Amino acid sequence: MNEIDRLSEFLQRLTPLSRSCLLSELERLELCGIDMPGSADIQSRLRAEFRKDGSTQARATSPSRYFFAPLELLLIDGAPEHANAGRISRNTLTPIWEWICRDLLPTMARDYVKAINDQVAANNPKEVQKTASTFQTKVLKVLESTLASADSTELARAKLAQYTASRTAFDDVMKMLDVLRAGAALPKFNEKLPEQIAKFDDNRVAEITSQLDGFRKSHPRALPFALALVARRLKTPWQLVRLATKAAATKSAADVAAAPYACVVPMVLDRLDDKRLALRVALQHNRVLVARDLLAEIYDIEYALKVRIDDIEHCEWGIRLQQLMDAIAALVSAEVSRFPANVGHTLGSRRLRSHDTLGGKLTYLAWKGRDAMQDGAAAFRKLIGQT
């Protein structure tokens, strides 16, 4: 028996759910930059079975898709190995689902799968929704009970680890719990948001802040997800940081950190980390033009954070920003060094840093002038208040 036949025999011994989980795990490792010999052949075979459209991202089967529907707007396609406040990695859904079906609620899960499949076959969408909602409530209650003590929490974590080596899968379970607890509040909040926010100006920031204030009072643990929904509507997602900087007394890092929505700054850094990961993948596959566009976006985010938050380099946010930019610089340097010194490379072009152009520098000076006036006015108001 040759290697291909042995591989086929091994895969067929696994349950369909296990094969789907294996595919997600191999894709996770690839996104993390871990090269597994023979992984490409296995992924190709499994994608042919589970993804008729040839997709390279996991998509849940029907019963699990209906169960995870409340998470859909919060899912991201990427490696579940770094922080993503308010968002959940799609690649963790398969191992979480297998854990639910095999360990958390095996009997109820079998009943749920049968009921969903029957209702789908009968083309009864209302009953499908009702069945999924009922099972979500059951899982929520069991999770709350399971996670009530440190010992049972560690046992649950260990059980989930049997289905994935991802360090953040259990964090995604906790996020799922917060989303399910919020119930209809997140969809209602999402419906009230503008279709697209092309310009996140002062009036729009005030409007969104007012909506967030009301949501935060009722569902404080679900706030990161509401912020993630806002970010989805922004034409320029890094502008989410304005929710913190606009409310701050001044632009100093300390004052921004004290603002009500300071949590958006690490969320923007999370998205910068996503760009870093996407840049690495693009370079691995020689997609230089994609890498160029990603790098331009990365530089824009870096510049915006440094301009809008004074002394950011001296705080925790700035340390993380520098670490990310160092990692990105190493990726770019490795790519550029593949070519002779006398051959220009698009990733080395100064044009990617638009703020280094004359127009960018003039804009920077205009911002600084405006900021100086605003900070002076804020200091004057503070002084008056102390007298």
pLDDT at 239 over 70: yes
CA dihedral 358, 361, 363, 367 (to 10 degrees): -170
Residues 6+ apart with CB under 8 A from 100: 109, 139
pLDDT at 22 over 90: no
Convert the pLDDT of each residue in 278-296 to its tens digit. 898 888 888 888 989 999 9
Once rounded to an integer, what is the mean pLDDT over residues 85-98?
89
Measured in degrees and rounded to the nearest 5, phi and psi for residue 258 equal: -90, -5
Quote the pLDDT of residue 351.
64
| Of residues 323, 245, 296, the one with CA closest to residue 83 | 323
Convert the pLDDT of each residue in 190-227 to its tens digit. 999 999 999 999 999 999 999 999 999 999 999 999 99
Once rounded to an integer, what is the mean pLDDT over residues 329-354?
70
Quote the pLDDT of residue 82.
66
Quote the pLDDT of residue 379.
43
Quote the pLDDT of residue 74.
94
Lowest mean pLDDT of 8-12, 50-54, 111-115, name the range. Answer: 50-54
Contact between 24 and 95 under an 8 Å Cβ cutoff? The reply is yes
Once rounded to an integer, what is the mean pLDDT over residues 251-279?
94
Quote the pLDDT of residue 175.
95
Single pTM value for the model: 0.78
Once rounded to an integer, what is the mean pLDDT over residues 14-19?
73
Q: How confident is the model at residue 363 (pLDDT cuts 50, 70, 90)?
A: very low
Measured in degrees and rounded to the nearest 5, phi and psi for residue 181 equal: -65, -35
First to last CA, the chain: 89
Q: Specify the amino acid at residue 350.
A: R
Most trustworthy range by pLDDT among 53-57, 192-196, 368-372: 192-196
Quote the pLDDT of residue 94.
85
Once rounded to an integer, what is the mean pLDDT over residues 307-316?
94
Q: For residues 168 and 92, what is the distance between their CA atoms, to the nearest angstrom?
A: 8
Once rounded to an integer, what is the mean pLDDT over residues 363-385?
46
pLDDT at 266 over 90: yes
Residues 6+ apart with CB under 8 A from 92: 24, 80, 164, 166, 168, 169, 172
pLDDT at 302 over 50: yes
Quote the pLDDT of residue 52.
56
205 vs 346, higher pLDDT: 205
Quote the pLDDT of residue 85.
86
Tokens coding 67: 């169960």
pLDDT at 181 over 70: yes
Burial class (CB in 10 A: 0-12, 13-18, 19+), 50: middle
Other Cβ atoms within 10 Å of 318 Cβ, number: 17
Convert the pLDDT of each residue in 101-154 to its tens digit. 999 999 999 999 999 999 999 999 999 999 999 999 999 999 999 999 999 999
Please give the mean pLDDT across all residues of the chain.
Answer: 83
Quote the pLDDT of residue 339.
65
